[in-house]
Amino acid sequence: MLKRIKTDEVKLGMFLHKMEGSWFSHPFWRSKMLLDDPDRLEELKASKVEWVQIDTARGIDPAPAEAPAPRSFHPAEKDVNERLFGRTSAQGVTIMRRAPARPSSVPPSFDPLSKERLPLQAEMAHANKLARKSSRAMKKVFDDARLGKAIKLNRLQPMIEEISSSIQRNPHAFMAVTRLKNTSEYLYMHSLSVCALMISLAQQLRLGPDQVQEAGLAGLLMDVGMGHVPQETWDKGAPLTPEEWDVVKSHTTLAHEFLTLGGEMPGTVLDVCLHHHERMDGSGYPHGLAGDQISLFSRMAAICDTYDAMTSDRVHRQGQDPAGALLNIDRANTLYDPEIFAAFQQAVGIYPIGSLVRLRNHRLAIVVDQNRDDLTLPKVRPFYSLQTRSFENAADIDLSRCFGSDQIVARETPEAWNIADWPTVSAKLLAQKS
């Protein structure tokens, strides 16, 4: 049964059927869900949504219906009721015997280390919870770094294993979630994004399991020195002064010195912390290394770090479309290792998940899956008709199976179509059922 209630009356355990108002006014990627997370409850109550509809058949009821008044029985009915249900009181009300409880069919809990392949929409629910949990853990890591407390590897390993498992279940869901960065949590979510990209790239390069884990750890920790940079500096909208730029660049040496003190950090991780801003033509920092002087992991990190920074919204600029970011990295071909970049493109796709494209049939669409055999023919989800100038709920199109009846004619930018907050919009579109 559906009930309409005020948002401030919503409680944990209720099943949200609909959030009234604009699709963009609520903080979630889908409107129907069981509200079982206190964080989500707080987000809902802090949103602009005033009224919601709940489904009492799938969640708790805020005001259960009153029990019906006792029914009087005809004397002839008493014996029948007594035989079927129990004894009958003097007032003619049947006193029910409690039936034996049937075992509940509770679905098994989800295994966060499962490697079983999941569709994007299904994995995004798990990725969302993992990202929120991991972001809180990374905040603790950065806080400890500021205070000079050693980082314990055994506390980070489970996080990396869960991220790696999420990527194996679906290589794109976790990245779609971590693109949603606000200013206050940018550093933490950036670390998680680069960790996931490093894992995907290491797998694409066919590195061994231990190296894949080290690549993820390097991505997670390489910017830990940024915790010592004042937030107003790295969020500054205007160009940095030479003094401010020196402070920002010091994060590489600070991270290296800090992580070295713990005595248990792998050498590959320390090297990435120090050299992920080195460039192939020698124009990077802190040591101006070039070509093969830069380690494999640091060359990988340079691409992953740059790509995530380009596609993320910041105070002073809006993030680029993923496909556009790849194009810009490709144009800067003297800065990055071309072979590693080719593998990176294979990992994320020529049209990465979440890219905005225009189709030949005059619709805007978002890329929702890759075709490993031909990266130019991904699966797309149309959502806006350019002819009617209206949003639509259209079926997904697998461009590799439509035999040319439709195709991508252009990459598009959210700014060109006045789509504000594209990371949030794209995450909602990706979370919709196909």
pLDDT band at 21 (very low <50, low <70, confident <90, very high): low
Residue 177 in this model has a pLDDT that exceeds 80: yes
CATH 1.10.3210.10 domain extents, the chain: 120-348
Contact between 211 and 343 (Cβ < 8 Å): no
How far, in whole angstroms, is CA 433 from its chain's centroid? 16
Q: Is 120-348 a domain of CATH 2.40.50.140?
A: no
List the structure tokens of 123.
């994995």
Question: Residue 271: is its pLDDT beyond 90?
Answer: yes
Average pLDDT rounded to a whole number, residues 213-233 = 89
pLDDT of residue 67: 43
Which secondary-structure segment (H or E) carries 15? strand 15-19
pLDDT at 414: 83
369-393 pLDDT per residue, tens: 888 788 889 999 999 999 998 888 8
pLDDT of residue 64: 54
168-184 in b/e burial notation, b at 16+ Cβ within 10 A? Answer: bbbbbbbbbbbbbbeee
The winner for highest mean pLDDT among 30-34, 54-58, 102-106 is 54-58
pLDDT band, residue 278 (cuts 50/70/90): very high
Determine the pLDDT at residue 109: 72
| CA separation for the pair 280, 290 (Å, rounded) | 5
Q: 87-123, pLDDT tens digit by residue? A: 444 444 444 444 444 444 434 577 888 989 888 878 8
Which residue, 224, 235, 296, is CA-closest to 258?
Answer: 224
pLDDT at 289 over 90: yes
Those residues whose C-beta lies under 8 Å from the C-beta of residue 423, and which sit 6 or more positions away, are: 179, 180, 181, 312, 313, 319
pLDDT of residue 108: 55
More confident residue, 93 or 285: 285
Q: At residue 3, does pLDDT exceed 50?
A: yes
The bridge status of strand 363-369 relative to strand 33-34 is: unpaired
Cα-to-chain-centroid distance, residue 336: 27
Which three-class secondary structure string do you get for 107-159? CCCCCCCCCCCCCHHHHHHHHHHHHHHHHHHHHHHHHHHHHCCCCCHHHHHHH
CA 153 – CA 234 distance, rounded (Å): 27
Render pLDDT for 244-256 as a digit per residue (tens, 0 to 9): 899 999 999 999 9
Residue (of 422, 411, 203, 424) closest to 325 by Cα position: 411
Range in 116-125, 177-186, 309-318, 394-403 with the lowest mean pLDDT: 177-186
Q: What is the pLDDT of residue 2?
A: 86
Neighbours of 133 (CB within 10 A): 14
- What does the chain come to in residues? 434
